[in-house]
Chain A
């Protein structure tokens, strides 16, 4: 294999970051892609009143969230009236069982999948595999990543960590495609391989970009047409979505769609905008005879309890925060070891997995603010990162599981003593005096801090004393 298969976990963030930083190939692949995406996004909004549009996007999402339970009920009712069967899942496990059951009811052996991050979150492929059902990704990037036995490294561009040569190797080794650097040839090969699979698939599984409560419509945004194939060719279509993806009105969709495509890849529009409102009706000649919608909670209703963290549910999964993040750009998506990487992942995953496992993620930010500035729905990502850092060390009240996991009694004691000293002048003077005298004993190494910096050395004479002396000299 061109690349050894590696398992990434959020617990190993630091080691994985070290590895990624030491891998010039990964760094070059990400750097090149992200630089281009930043420019494209900027250009795509050049003719727009961007601030007004972002405000509208944020307001639409806030309005939907403010009515979330009602809208979910309305969505269910409208979908059912249209002939779409609606299922609810409390967690990924339950959602997987629902999908597997539907497959088994139809005696399905093979499933074709459109791109869906929720299905990644649920580990649906592994689950189906255990049930003896083969699930094949049909988005080209996802297909390549799946062939390489990896997970996506970006939520929009799953195979962005691979370059043309690596992809050529993967396709050659896994599918027998002749080695080539010609992208059209590789794409044509994948087209041929996947067309057979679309025809053979018993069930198509897709995600959902927006679910419209008013009309019971599932909106899918894509360029390749694999989403349309997946939701049209197999006799059964199962859409899986997080419960937060619902919007109130059909009219809410155009602004969100405008923000999504431009923020994600700098496109003014995607090739396809696919709106599905029911299974094949009498007299129609194609389209699935059954459509199912699985509404997945998986921790989202817990996030919903907290006014501040609720902002994360506004996310429309455009990936712009990743593209603009100086940390993500350097370490790449796998480093995070989670379904959602980058800034949004660093605030979303602690909710979903708990802080024990994800305590390093909120620190994977320079807090430069770029993520918050580009987010099309104005999620205050930097503020939330800071809040999670606080909760990780046991400050503030939060509902994120594992709060306080990073609390260190030594650190707390050190800051407490500092606080006491700094508010007691004579003790302060005495202590700084002694430290100044013993400065020769100050350690040269202070753990990771001194890896790239020289250790601070206490001054022989304190600033306080220096100023005092200066004043005396001036007066004399």
Chain B
């Protein structure tokens, strides 16, 4: 018999009585009933506590805010998608800017080293966020591959305030995640960090050192 059959058989032929399957009451992870303002406040509190930087802006002036960040942080090469709304608008605006735009909609095998060594920042859209933990919700796409939010030392994420929901449980159930998961789904809460050296916090150990969120109202 194969290992698979042996293992399954041992599990099935358990001599003791069947294990109970207690009911699960999920109310403790849902039902927060926060108002829109409370949601934003929770989100800001938690993501700030893990070193995420929030820049409030309006939907009609977020690109000015983006330009501000790029110059503040000295970004010269910005990687971004092409077809999603955030990337399209950013590209229009940054067209005449001094920042060099790096296309990410191409096979990473061809330009991995460039991505790892020469890109200063990655700009991504987000699908939403979670107030309770200060987490961004991203499903990478061909337009915005996974490494865009991981490899460059600065990750700039654009988030609409009305897409913040209360809890992870709420996000998963309301948006029907279980009916179709993407290749890779991600929650991101702050920049990459470690406390492995005597519990001292250090940022950017493998991923971005900084996470800036443009929160559009």
B85 CB-CB contact with A under 8 Å:
no
Interface residues of B in 16-46 (CB under 8 A from A): 16-29, 46
Structural contact, A279 and B183, CB atoms closer than 8 A: yes
Bound Cα distance from A132 to B49, whole angstroms: 45
Q: Which of A230-256 contact B (CB under 8 A)?
A: 232-233, 243, 249-255
Q: Which of A209-240 contact B (CB under 8 A)?
A: 214-217, 223-226, 228-229, 232-233
B172-217 contacts to A (CB < 8 Å): 172-173, 177-178, 181-200, 202, 204-208
Bound Cα distance A287, B177 (Å): 20
A-B contacts at CB below 8 angstroms, number: 259
Task: Assess whether B60 is interfacial by the CB under 8 Å rule.
Answer: no
Query: Judging by beta carbons under 8 Å apart, are B198 and A285 in contact?
Result: no
Contact B206 A191 (CB under 8 A): yes
Identify A157's interface contact among B50, B169, B193, B196, CB under 8 A: B196
Look across to chain B and name the residue whose beta carbon is closest to the beta carbon of A190: B205
Contacts of B206 in A (CB 8 A): 138, 191, 194-195, 198, 224-226, 228-229
Q: What size tier do the contact residues of chain B reach?
A: 35 or more
User: A140-B194, A270-B189 known; A62 and B22 CB under 8 Å?
Assistant: yes
Query: Chain B interface mostly helix, strand, loop or mixed?
Result: loop
Contacts of B16 in A (CB 8 A): 305-307
Q: How far, in angstroms, from A316 to B185 measured CA to CA in the complex?
A: 21
Contact of A285 among B27, B50, B104, B150 (CB under 8 A): B104
Q: How far is the CB of A196 from chain B (nearest CB, A)?
A: 9
Most buried by A among B28, B105, B113, B187: B28
Contact of A255 among B19, B29, B108, B134 (CB under 8 A): B29
The 8 A CB mask of A273-299 against B (1 = contact, 0 = none) is 111111111011111000000010100
Q: Is the CB of A164 within 8 A of B198?
A: yes
Most buried by B among A68, A73, A229, A272: A272
The stretch among B7-15, B69-77, B91-99 that forms the contact with chain A is B7-15
Residues of B within 8 A of A164 (CB): 197-198, 200
Q: Is the CB of B19 within 8 A of A307?
A: yes
Who on chain A is nearest to B153 by CB? A191
Contacts of B14 in A (CB 8 A): 304-305
- List the interface of chain A (C-beta within 8 A of B): 29, 32-33, 36, 48-49, 52-53, 55-56, 58-60, 62-63, 65-69, 72-73, 76, 88-90, 94, 138-141, 144, 157-160, 162-164, 167, 183-184, 186-188, 190-191, 194-195, 198-199, 214-217, 223-226, 228-229, 232-233, 243, 249-255, 257-258, 265, 267-281, 283-287, 295, 297, 301-302, 304-307, 310
